[in-house]
Amino acid sequence: MSPLPFATQNEPCGVREKKSMDRRLMFRLAAVGGALAVLVGGAGAEETKKKKQHKLVLHVGANDLNSMKTALGNAKNAYELYAKRGESLAIEIVANSGGLNMFRDDTSPVKQQIAELRKVDPNVVLSGCNNTKVTMEKLEGKEIAIIPEARLVPAGVVRMVELEEQGYAYVRP
Protein backbone atom coordinates (compact mmCIF):
# COMPACT_ATOMS: atom_id res chain seq x y z
CA MET A 1 0.00 0.00 0.00
CA SER A 2 1.22 3.46 -0.82
CA PRO A 3 2.19 5.68 2.08
CA LEU A 4 0.06 8.46 0.58
CA PRO A 5 -3.73 7.87 0.51
CA PHE A 6 -4.26 9.57 -2.86
CA ALA A 7 -1.56 7.67 -4.77
CA THR A 8 -1.56 4.08 -5.92
CA GLN A 9 1.38 1.77 -6.32
CA ASN A 10 1.46 2.31 -10.10
CA GLU A 11 1.07 6.11 -10.01
CA PRO A 12 3.69 8.56 -8.91
CA CYS A 13 2.80 10.78 -5.98
CA GLY A 14 0.18 13.47 -6.92
CA VAL A 15 -0.92 11.97 -10.26
CA ARG A 16 -4.21 10.65 -8.95
CA GLU A 17 -4.95 13.96 -7.26
CA LYS A 18 -4.29 15.79 -10.55
CA LYS A 19 -6.61 13.45 -12.53
CA SER A 20 -9.33 13.94 -9.93
CA MET A 21 -8.90 17.74 -10.11
CA ASP A 22 -9.00 17.61 -13.93
CA ARG A 23 -12.24 15.62 -13.84
CA ARG A 24 -13.83 18.05 -11.38
CA LEU A 25 -12.77 21.02 -13.48
CA MET A 26 -14.10 19.42 -16.65
CA PHE A 27 -17.39 18.61 -14.91
CA ARG A 28 -17.73 22.22 -13.72
CA LEU A 29 -16.95 23.58 -17.18
CA ALA A 30 -19.47 21.24 -18.75
CA ALA A 31 -22.10 22.31 -16.23
CA VAL A 32 -21.43 26.00 -16.88
CA GLY A 33 -21.46 25.40 -20.65
CA GLY A 34 -24.75 23.54 -20.40
CA ALA A 35 -26.31 26.30 -18.34
CA LEU A 36 -25.16 28.90 -20.85
CA ALA A 37 -26.56 26.85 -23.73
CA VAL A 38 -29.93 26.64 -21.97
CA LEU A 39 -29.93 30.38 -21.27
CA VAL A 40 -28.90 31.36 -24.79
CA GLY A 41 -31.18 28.78 -26.40
CA GLY A 42 -34.04 29.87 -24.15
CA ALA A 43 -33.53 33.52 -25.06
CA GLY A 44 -33.57 32.65 -28.74
CA ALA A 45 -36.74 30.64 -28.32
CA GLU A 46 -38.39 33.49 -26.41
CA GLU A 47 -37.35 35.95 -29.11
CA THR A 48 -38.80 33.69 -31.78
CA LYS A 49 -42.07 33.44 -29.86
CA LYS A 50 -42.19 37.20 -29.30
CA LYS A 51 -42.24 38.65 -32.79
CA LYS A 52 -41.94 42.41 -32.89
CA GLN A 53 -45.22 44.34 -32.86
CA HIS A 54 -44.93 46.98 -35.57
CA LYS A 55 -47.02 50.15 -35.44
CA LEU A 56 -47.83 52.56 -38.26
CA VAL A 57 -49.82 55.80 -38.35
CA LEU A 58 -50.62 57.23 -41.77
CA HIS A 59 -51.59 60.93 -41.88
CA VAL A 60 -54.02 62.21 -44.50
CA GLY A 61 -54.25 65.98 -44.13
CA ALA A 62 -55.39 67.11 -47.57
CA ASN A 63 -58.42 66.53 -49.75
CA ASP A 64 -56.23 64.70 -52.26
CA LEU A 65 -57.44 61.44 -53.78
CA ASN A 66 -53.95 60.33 -54.81
CA SER A 67 -52.55 60.82 -51.29
CA MET A 68 -55.43 58.83 -49.82
CA LYS A 69 -55.00 56.02 -52.34
CA THR A 70 -51.28 56.00 -51.55
CA ALA A 71 -52.05 55.78 -47.81
CA LEU A 72 -54.43 52.86 -48.37
CA GLY A 73 -51.88 51.13 -50.62
CA ASN A 74 -49.10 51.68 -48.07
CA ALA A 75 -51.29 50.19 -45.34
CA LYS A 76 -52.17 47.12 -47.42
CA ASN A 77 -48.61 46.49 -48.61
CA ALA A 78 -47.05 46.91 -45.16
CA TYR A 79 -49.67 44.66 -43.54
CA GLU A 80 -49.14 41.90 -46.12
CA LEU A 81 -45.33 42.06 -45.88
CA TYR A 82 -45.32 41.74 -42.10
CA ALA A 83 -47.94 38.97 -42.27
CA LYS A 84 -45.65 36.98 -44.62
CA ARG A 85 -42.89 37.34 -41.99
CA GLY A 86 -45.23 36.11 -39.28
CA GLU A 87 -45.17 39.53 -37.62
CA SER A 88 -48.04 41.82 -36.74
CA LEU A 89 -48.67 45.42 -37.73
CA ALA A 90 -51.08 47.83 -36.05
CA ILE A 91 -52.24 50.48 -38.53
CA GLU A 92 -54.14 53.69 -37.91
CA ILE A 93 -55.01 56.19 -40.63
CA VAL A 94 -55.70 59.65 -39.22
CA ALA A 95 -57.54 62.20 -41.37
CA ASN A 96 -57.76 65.86 -40.42
CA SER A 97 -58.22 69.16 -42.21
CA GLY A 98 -59.12 68.54 -45.87
CA GLY A 99 -58.26 64.87 -45.47
CA LEU A 100 -61.47 64.37 -43.49
CA ASN A 101 -63.34 64.52 -46.83
CA MET A 102 -61.99 60.99 -47.42
CA PHE A 103 -63.99 59.77 -44.38
CA ARG A 104 -67.16 61.76 -45.07
CA ASP A 105 -70.10 59.63 -46.10
CA ASP A 106 -71.25 62.19 -48.67
CA THR A 107 -67.88 62.99 -50.28
CA SER A 108 -65.55 60.00 -49.88
CA PRO A 109 -64.24 58.77 -53.23
CA VAL A 110 -62.47 55.82 -51.58
CA LYS A 111 -65.27 53.89 -49.87
CA GLN A 112 -64.60 50.82 -52.01
CA GLN A 113 -60.84 50.91 -51.39
CA ILE A 114 -61.43 51.24 -47.64
CA ALA A 115 -63.74 48.20 -47.75
CA GLU A 116 -61.06 46.26 -49.64
CA LEU A 117 -58.40 47.24 -47.08
CA ARG A 118 -60.69 46.11 -44.24
CA LYS A 119 -60.93 42.67 -45.91
CA VAL A 120 -57.12 42.39 -45.83
CA ASP A 121 -56.74 43.92 -42.34
CA PRO A 122 -60.00 44.07 -40.42
CA ASN A 123 -58.21 45.74 -37.50
CA VAL A 124 -57.05 48.85 -39.37
CA VAL A 125 -58.28 51.93 -37.50
CA LEU A 126 -59.61 54.96 -39.36
CA SER A 127 -59.70 58.08 -37.19
CA GLY A 128 -61.24 61.37 -38.27
CA CYS A 129 -60.65 64.70 -36.56
CA ASN A 130 -63.75 65.94 -34.75
CA ASN A 131 -62.39 69.52 -34.66
CA THR A 132 -62.33 69.48 -38.46
CA LYS A 133 -65.82 67.95 -38.61
CA VAL A 134 -67.27 70.67 -36.34
CA THR A 135 -65.62 73.39 -38.46
CA MET A 136 -66.96 71.84 -41.69
CA GLU A 137 -70.46 71.61 -40.19
CA LYS A 138 -70.37 75.31 -39.23
CA LEU A 139 -69.14 76.33 -42.68
CA GLU A 140 -71.66 74.16 -44.55
CA GLY A 141 -74.56 74.71 -42.18
CA LYS A 142 -75.41 71.01 -41.94
CA GLU A 143 -74.49 67.91 -39.99
CA ILE A 144 -71.82 65.76 -41.61
CA ALA A 145 -71.93 61.95 -41.44
CA ILE A 146 -68.74 59.93 -41.32
CA ILE A 147 -68.40 56.54 -43.06
CA PRO A 148 -69.21 53.63 -40.73
CA GLU A 149 -65.65 52.25 -40.88
CA ALA A 150 -64.24 55.46 -39.36
CA ARG A 151 -64.45 56.83 -35.87
CA LEU A 152 -64.00 60.35 -34.56
CA VAL A 153 -61.20 61.48 -32.26
CA PRO A 154 -61.27 64.87 -30.52
CA ALA A 155 -58.27 66.22 -32.45
CA GLY A 156 -56.36 64.51 -35.26
CA VAL A 157 -53.05 66.16 -34.39
CA VAL A 158 -53.34 65.13 -30.74
CA ARG A 159 -54.18 61.56 -31.80
CA MET A 160 -51.02 61.38 -33.93
CA VAL A 161 -48.92 62.70 -31.02
CA GLU A 162 -50.39 60.03 -28.75
CA LEU A 163 -49.69 57.31 -31.32
CA GLU A 164 -46.10 58.43 -31.76
CA GLU A 165 -45.68 58.38 -27.97
CA GLN A 166 -46.87 54.76 -28.09
CA GLY A 167 -44.17 53.90 -30.61
CA TYR A 168 -46.06 54.30 -33.90
CA ALA A 169 -44.02 55.27 -36.95
CA TYR A 170 -45.45 58.39 -38.60
CA VAL A 171 -45.83 58.39 -42.39
CA ARG A 172 -47.43 61.09 -44.51
CA PRO A 173 -47.92 59.79 -48.06
- Angle, helices 111-120 vs 65-84, to 10°: value is 10
- On average, the pLDDT of the chain sits at 85
Quick one: 97 and 142 in the same domain?
A: yes
The pTM (predicted TM-score) of the whole model is 0.72
pLDDT tens digits, residue range 126-166?
Answer: 999 999 999 999 999 999 999 999 999 999 999 999 999 99
Distance from C-alpha of 128 to C-alpha of 75, rounded to nearest angstrom? 17
| Residues 101, 149, 74, 63, Cα dihedral to 10° | 0
**Residue 52: band (very low, low, confident or very high) from pLDDT cuts 50, 70, 90:** confident
pLDDT for the residue 51: 74
H-helix segments, the chain: 15-49, 65-84, 111-120, 130-140, 156-165
Q: Is the pLDDT of residue 12 over 60?
A: no
Task: Please state the domain count of the chain.
Answer: 2
Quick one: 62 and 42 in the same domain?
A: no
Q: Domain containing 165: what range?
A: 51-171
pLDDT, average across residues 62-85: 97
